[in-house]
Structure 1
Amino acid sequence: MRYTAARTRRAVIRLTMRLQEGLEEATRRPDRGDISTTTVIIWVAAVTGAVLIAGTIAIVIAKYNGKLNGL
């Protein structure tokens, strides 16, 4: 039990120190290369378009599946 408590304490200390270092880095360098809003919009549009195209193809194949068997 004491071993688990010691490991947990060390893990919490490491995480706290890592978080503090990250916050200090963010304060020192506010522009860390974060993803811009435009990039997020482009990715969402691309993924949405791909899902729509794949869905349309699946619907067409399901609808005409019997007719496509003879090809």
Structure 2
Amino acid sequence: MNRAALRLSARVREVLEEAARRPDRGDISTTTVIIWVAAVTGAVLIAGTIALVIAKYNGQLNNL
């Protein structure tokens, strides 16, 4: 158990040192995440609306 804790603390130290050396690592910005979440939410809402309309009018669509 001690070995795992020592390895974990050493790894955390390495990551923090790397972050201090290279502050801009190309992380995704908050704006990009917001745009992607909005796009996916919009697509799901549109698909759900289409599915509801098709389910509601399915009987009438079969007679066309």
* Superposed pair shares fold, TM > 0.5: yes
- The count of corresponding residues between Structure 1 and Structure 2 is 64
What does residue 30 of structure 2 align with?
37
Paired letter, 1:62: A
What does residue 57 of structure 1 align with?
50
Query: Which whole-Å CA distance do the structure 2 matches of 1:57 and 1:13 have between them?
Result: 55
Gaps of 5+ in 2: none
CA RMSD of aligned residues (A): 1.6
Gaps of 5+ in 1: 1-7
Q: SS of the counterpart of 1:35?
A: coil
Q: Give TM-score scaled by structure 2 length.
A: 0.80
- Which runs of 4 or more aligned residues in structure 1 lie more than 4 Å from their structure 2 counterparts after TM superposition? none
The Cα offsets for residues 16-69 of structure 1, whole Å up to 9 and x where unpaired, read as: 111110011111111111111221122012111111111111211221122234
Same amino acid, percent of matched pairs: 80
